Amino acid sequence: MSKSDKLQDLNSLNPADVTICETTQKMLAKAHRDGVETAFDRAANMKACPIGEKSACCKHCAMGPCRLNAKDPYSKVGVCGATIDTIQSRNFARMVASGTASHTDHGMEMLNLFKGVVSGHIKDYEISDTEKLIQVAGELGIATEDREVLDIARDLCAEMEKTYTQIEGELPFIKRAPKKTQEMWREAGVVPRGAMREIMEITTRTHMGMDQDHTNLIKQINRTALADGWGGSMVATEIGDMLFGTPYPVVGEVNMGVLKEDEVNIIIHGHEPNLFDSMLASVNDPELIAKAQASGAKGINLVGMCCSGLEMLSRRGVPHAGNFMSTEAILVTGAVDAMAVDVQCIKQGLAKVADCYGTKLFTTNPRAHIEGVPHIEFEEDYPRECTDTVVEMAIKRYAGRTAPIDIPKRKDKGVFGFSHEYINYMLGGTFRGSYTPLNDNIINGRIRGVAGVVGCTNPRVKQDYVHVELVKELIKNDILVVQTGCSQISLAKAGLLTPEAAHLAGPGLAEVCETVGMPPVLGLGACVDNSRILTAVCNMVAAGGLGDSIADLPVAGAAPEWMSEKAIAIGQYFVASGVYTIFGVTFPIVEQTKFYKLMFEDLEKQGMGKWDFAVDPHDMAAKMIAHIEKKRAALGLDKDKERVLVGMDDRRAIEA
């Protein structure tokens, strides 16, 4: 294609059609003028394969690949005889395996770091929340009284390591779930042993000629997914809190306007908080600041993107420049002097865009190199070697900036860092920290229920639009929304993570928000922090009055713009834990099959949650609300629609 053809091709895509993010729109328009392509353009030019989209093909052996008919799914089988249900369930299982492996690997890295800190050979990090450490140790049955913190921590390391390496037995954090939920899992035979074992087993069971009954494979799908939510992800969150601090609400800035024209701009994009934490130390090093100033810059400006950015935003108030679908667009500003990436959700396309605008792009993790991109390995024993070098390279790039700088001015504010611990405190106060006030407000109907709206952005749908419309609709209907991952940046840019957004909520939720001074949408952190939602729902069950398993609660989950296999693993562990979970964009299952019926109907009959699917945010909201109302009715909460406070007698009755 000639350059002018290419420009014409790029210009045929209207930025306003593919994203509602104003700054991303501006940068896409500039990219088109500059002849630079992004994932938005590639998505427009790459039609999704209709058979693959529905997961109706298999390439698990060389007798295939086999393509079945997504429109008439039982008309054909694979060469080996595999039916549509076998093929779809195996494909789904492999997505769960990969997603679980990602969170598990991340959690294991965090455990290694924690072990290094506890043993004393890693010196650049320290335990910063001993209270949390003691509380988690106690929860896992480790003696804590009259013991040194490091002593407790050593036992805790050994206990948490079981999450990954245990061959037989139950994952340590399974204990955290409500009794009835645990019993349901045991009955279904899905309590995970160790995550490594589950991932190994799911991989072998999906090999050609292995598990060819979707009703049996689903057990391993659930077991593996649960090893993510109650294992890899939960450990990552808990260790993150112990090392870097449990989040409490902090006002933060988001959007591309956080870049500064007269400073050295560095972006950290990825998932592991250790790289980010060390980079924070580097950019605050007086020597490096002096170097930056000597090169003419006013200072060094560090900002985050995607999930580790969310962890640092929640814990330290570090500004956040945007979510997954803005990572290429932001380089078009020309203002990014360096971008360092670690693991997960790093588009290979970044390399080319960075090259066009002279941004220094670096990979840092041995698991995730990109061809042609310089690699500076990050080592926890000497973390500053990597991060200082990145800063030096960024300063060099600043001094030699040639690309014109065009930073969209927009910055939005939000409140971030609602850990489940803080929600406890916020609602109950220091003396009476508990989830009882939340439950009371759900019981009296001021709040109808709680929805988790989480996950990615995806160029197959208009960026941020589905997230924002869905959340607006939910809060308007008095449903409190909790968020993690890229979704929370979509809502922050729309201004919904502020207490002032309470006026967009229905009268009941607005009243609660105004009384407590909280936003109607609570940001809980990165995708691994979906485990905070699991812990929060456990606390809701424990506070009483809303049934005795997670499946009884009037709650629902959604990933309206999902794209990654991690999102599928997360969705599956919510379903297996008892939560109704709805996804947007597309769903990798052919309807009218037995596997579809199993996932979308039958799991619920076993006491779990179920999957659902809708593309339109209003349809999605209607389905979530209907589910929440169904759960309210089952709890007998639909009879009393009057908004009366639960009195002391009622509370005693609930507690009894």
Binding residues for ligand NFS (CB under 6 A): 271, 306-307, 324, 344-345, 455-456, 485-486, 527, 564, 566-567
Which of ligand NFS, ligand SF4, none binds 61 (CB below 5-8 Å, type-dependent)?
ligand SF4
Q: Does 63 contact ligand SF4 by CB under 6 A?
A: yes
Q: Does 205 contact ligand SF4 by CB under 6 A?
A: no
Nearer of residues 79 and 645 to ligand SF4, judged by Cβ: 79
Nearer of residues 485 and 578 to ligand NFS, judged by Cβ: 485
The answer to whether 21 is a known ligand-binding residue is no
Nearer of residues 255 and 564 to ligand NFS, judged by Cβ: 564
The answer to whether 271 is a known ligand-binding residue is yes
Q: Does 51 contact ligand SF4 by CB under 6 A?
A: no
The answer to whether 80 is a known ligand-binding residue is yes
* Minimum gap (Å) between residue 48 Cβ and ligand SF4: 20
Pick from 58, 279, 442, 575: which binds ligand SF4 (CB under 6 A)?
58
* Minimum gap (Å) between residue 83 Cβ and ligand SF4: 9
C-alpha separations of 327 from 40, 135, 340, 479, 495 in Å:
11, 37, 12, 31, 20
* Minimum gap (Å) between residue 208 Cβ and ligand SF4: 4
SS3 of residue 413 by DSSP = strand
* Minimum gap (Å) between residue 567 Cβ and ligand NFS: 6
* Minimum gap (Å) between residue 57 Cβ and ligand SF4: 8
CB 381, CB 122: distance < 8 Å = yes
**Which H/E stretch holds residue 200?**
helix 195-205
CB 184, CB 607: distance < 8 Å = yes
Amino acid in position 580:
Y
The answer to whether 356 is a known ligand-binding residue is no
* Minimum gap (Å) between residue 210 Cβ and ligand SF4: 10
- Total binding residues toward ligand SF4, as defined by CB under 6 A: 14
* Minimum gap (Å) between residue 54 Cβ and ligand SF4: 15
Nearer of residues 83 and 323 to ligand SF4, judged by Cβ: 83
The structure tokens 């960026």 sit at 463
Amino acid in position 542:
A
* Minimum gap (Å) between residue 562 Cβ and ligand NFS: 7
The answer to whether 538 is a known ligand-binding residue is no
The answer to whether 513 is a known ligand-binding residue is no
Among candidates 288, 379, 301, 387, which has minimal Cα distance to 337? 301
Which of ligand SF4, ligand NFS, none binds 324 (CB below 5-8 Å, type-dependent)?
ligand NFS
Among candidates 36, 340, 97, 124, which has minimal Cα distance to 222? 97
CB 36, CB 15: distance < 8 Å = no
SS3 of residue 582 by DSSP = strand
How many C-beta atoms surround the C-beta of residue 10 within 10 A?
22
Nearer of residues 190 and 575 to ligand NFS, judged by Cβ: 575
- Report the distance separating Cα 627 and Cα 610, nearest Å: 11
Q: Which two three-digit tokens encode residue 603?
A: 């799991």
Amino acid in position 95:
M
CB 246, CB 129: distance < 8 Å = yes
Nearer of residues 87 and 341 to ligand NFS, judged by Cβ: 341
As a residue count, the chain comes to 656
Which of ligand NFS, ligand SF4, none binds 133 (CB below 5-8 Å, type-dependent)?
none
- Report the distance separating Cα 465 and Cα 230, nearest Å: 31
Nearer of residues 33 and 59 to ligand SF4, judged by Cβ: 59
Which of ligand NFS, ligand SF4, none binds 307 (CB below 5-8 Å, type-dependent)?
ligand NFS
The answer to whether 57 is a known ligand-binding residue is yes
- Report the distance separating Cα 619 and Cα 600, nearest Å: 16
CB 654, CB 545: distance < 8 Å = yes
C-alpha separations of 340 from 183, 186, 394, 489 in Å:
45, 43, 10, 20
The answer to whether 157 is a known ligand-binding residue is no
Pick from 26, 30, 32, 60: which binds ligand SF4 (CB under 6 A)?
60
Which of ligand NFS, ligand SF4, none binds 60 (CB below 5-8 Å, type-dependent)?
ligand SF4
SS3 of residue 482 by DSSP = strand
Pick from 10, 27, 56, 66: which binds ligand SF4 (CB under 6 A)?
66
Contacts of 181 (CB under 8 A, 6+ apart): 541, 549, 550, 551, 577, 578
Given the rule CB under 6 A, which of 60-68, 170-178, 249-257, 472-480 is the region that contacts ligand SF4?
60-68
Nearer of residues 206 and 308 to ligand NFS, judged by Cβ: 308
Residue 612's DSSP bridge partners are: 582
Among candidates 303, 210, 294, 214, which has minimal Cα distance to 256? 303
**Which H/E stretch holds residue 452?**
strand 449-453
How many C-beta atoms surround the C-beta of residue 367 within 10 A?
11
Given the rule CB under 6 A, which of 61-69, 147-155, 318-326, 629-637 is the region that contacts ligand SF4?
61-69
Among candidates 332, 466, 564, 459, which has minimal Cα distance to 42? 459
Q: Does 210 contact ligand SF4 by CB under 6 A?
A: no
The answer to whether 486 is a known ligand-binding residue is yes
C-alpha separations of 220 from 189, 224, 434, 522, 606 in Å:
9, 6, 35, 33, 15
Nearer of residues 527 and 576 to ligand NFS, judged by Cβ: 527
Pick from 12, 16, 33, 59: which binds ligand SF4 (CB under 6 A)?
59
- Report the distance separating Cα 182 and Cα 177, nearest Å: 6
Nearer of residues 211 and 328 to ligand SF4, judged by Cβ: 211
The answer to whether 306 is a known ligand-binding residue is no
Which of ligand SF4, ligand NFS, none binds 564 (CB below 5-8 Å, type-dependent)?
ligand NFS
* Minimum gap (Å) between residue 421 Cβ and ligand SF4: 47
- Report the distance separating Cα 585 and Cα 458, nearest Å: 8
Which of ligand SF4, ligand NFS, none binds 82 (CB below 5-8 Å, type-dependent)?
ligand SF4
* Minimum gap (Å) between residue 488 Cβ and ligand NFS: 9
Residue 251's DSSP bridge partners are: 415
Residues that bind ligand SF4 (CB under 6 A): 58-61, 63-66, 78-80, 82, 87, 208
User: Residues annotated as binding site?
Assistant: 49, 57-58, 61, 66, 80, 271, 307, 345, 456, 486, 527
